[in-house]
Chain A
Amino acid sequence: MSKIVSISISDEEIIDGIKSHDDKAATALYNNHKDYCMRFMDKMYWDNDTNQDIYQDAIMVFIKNVKSKNLKLENTSIQSYLNSICKNQIKNRLKKANKNNLNINTEFDNKFIKDKTNIFYEENINDYQIKDFNIDDNEVITERVKIILEELEVMKEKGPACFKLLKSIFFENRKLEVIASLLNYTNTRNVITQSYKCRERLKKQVFKRLEK
């Protein structure tokens, strides 16, 4: 495993940074907590790449929870929370492996996981619901969403101004005044007008593809 350089930053700063879509905070989150999670997962049957996938998924769940659920860690640390996510990821993978009749001793694994994860339960994380630690597998991604995604990627390359504007509105949930200031619009009315044009442009491209 390569050496991880920790970045000196508090849990609160990481959460605030993630809320404001700061990549430095995401990088710090990833680097600072990886070592502990990976050491825990190193005892698993699967290879390092799988552990890395699990860890990345855990980070994604964490970021999503921070952004969408306004997560506040009052009685626990990011590390404990991430460990719990990793633990649930492992459980889910074992369940899936069992369903597929893969040669894995689930009883042993569950005992092992329970032993290894006792520490997590001791750290007051019971306040969180177990679903908070899982990736939402039930999330339906429709064909339309896939096409929108692809068209947004095209827009990012060919019309970055529109992409930034739509991202500020639909993803970053910024106020119109803030968007006007950040993206150099003279007033909020211009923001609304321009966002309508951009949305129409996106819509046109999406429906053009859907009609094919």
Chain B
Amino acid sequence: MIQQTEDDIKDSEIKQAFELLEEKRLKQLFKDIENKQSNEAATIIPMFTWMKFAIAASVFGLIITSGILLFNNSDNNQLAFEKTVIKENIKNSNDTAINRSMAYQKPVINEIRNRNNISISVKTLDDLSEISEEYSISYRTVIPIDSINDVYAKYKFTNENLVLYLNEKSNVVVYQFNLRYYVKIENKYYSLMKSKNISSLKRIFDAKIIKSLNDSLKIN
């Protein structure tokens, strides 16, 4: 391609030099690959060790925290809440109502509390005529629907759900406690287990009347 003289450098020499240069470059490339892999391995191993420690610490912490919450906060608070509810029921009831209140209240709350899958549906009073004569089958302690004051609400329990028949003008208050919701009907608290249904509750109730039991009940 290019005319060469005797004193000129040869094409083959330039070619060979480029080949050696390329060899050098590739060796550096492979060295970089090795270094990168070594660095990654060196980073990953301590990271795994650190992660193992962090996970172990987190799990331990979670167990401890859960334990404290379960035993000190949730359980104790729940018991305290029930006691408060019962006390409140007693305070608001006559003597004959005391026994009935205590008898009614605790089994209902316990039963509902143990049912994680319970669903709540909310209907308006317009639907009440359909079931006006019904009684709860599962919860014999629940007051018959027709004995509830229309001002507040109508409700029934079935095996799987609590149906509230609500009057939009009613004074029913929904309480929030430990991420659960309770409704107070005739001075009794009933658990509303599914928080996702609260959105439908909110549509019916004024959001302002959803109170936090943590604030409203001063539990010792």
Contacts and interface: CB of A to CB of B under 8 A. Distances in A.
Query: Do these two chains really belong together in a complex?
Result: yes
Interface of A: 2-5, 21, 23, 26-27, 30-31, 52, 56, 59-60, 63-64, 141-142, 144-145, 148-149, 152-153, 166-167, 169-171, 192, 195-196, 199, 202-203, 206-207
A152 B21 contact: yes
B13 A145 contact: yes
How would you classify the secondary structure of chain A's contact residues: helix, strand, loop or mixed? helix
Given A4-B37, A199-B2, A171 B30 contact: no
Interface in B1-45: 1-2, 7-9, 11, 13-23, 26-27, 29-30, 33-34, 37-38, 40-41, 44
A110 to B, nearest CB: 28
B125 to A, nearest CB: 66
23 contacts: A2-B37, A3-B41, A5-B37, A21-B22, A27-B29, A30-B30, A56-B27, A63-B26, A64-B23, A141-B20, A145-B17, A148-B13, A148-B14, A149-B20, A152-B18, A152-B21, A153-B21, A167-B18, A169-B1, A170-B14, A171-B19, A192-B1, A203-B9
Interface of B: 1-2, 7-9, 11, 13-23, 26-27, 29-30, 33-34, 37-38, 40-41, 44
A59 B23 CA distance: 10
B21 A170 contact: no
Nearest to B8: A203
A5 B37 CA distance: 9
A156 to B, nearest CB: 8
Nearest to A5: B37
How would you classify the secondary structure of chain B's contact residues: helix, strand, loop or mixed? helix
B25 to A, nearest CB: 9
B29 A171 contact: no
Contacts of A2: 34, 37-38, 40-41
A64 B81 CA distance: 82
A203 B20 CA distance: 18
Contacts of B14: 148, 152, 166, 170, 199, 202
A171 B22 contact: yes
A3 to B, nearest CB: 6
B9 A170 contact: no
Contacts of A142: 13
The 10 closest A-B pairs by CB, nearest first: A171-B18, A2-B37, A148-B17, A2-B41, A149-B17, A170-B14, A170-B15, A2-B38, A145-B16, A56-B30
A141 B12 CA distance: 11
Contacts of A196: 2
Given A2-B38, A145-B17, A167-B18, 4 more contacts: A2-B37, A64-B19, A149-B17, A203-B9
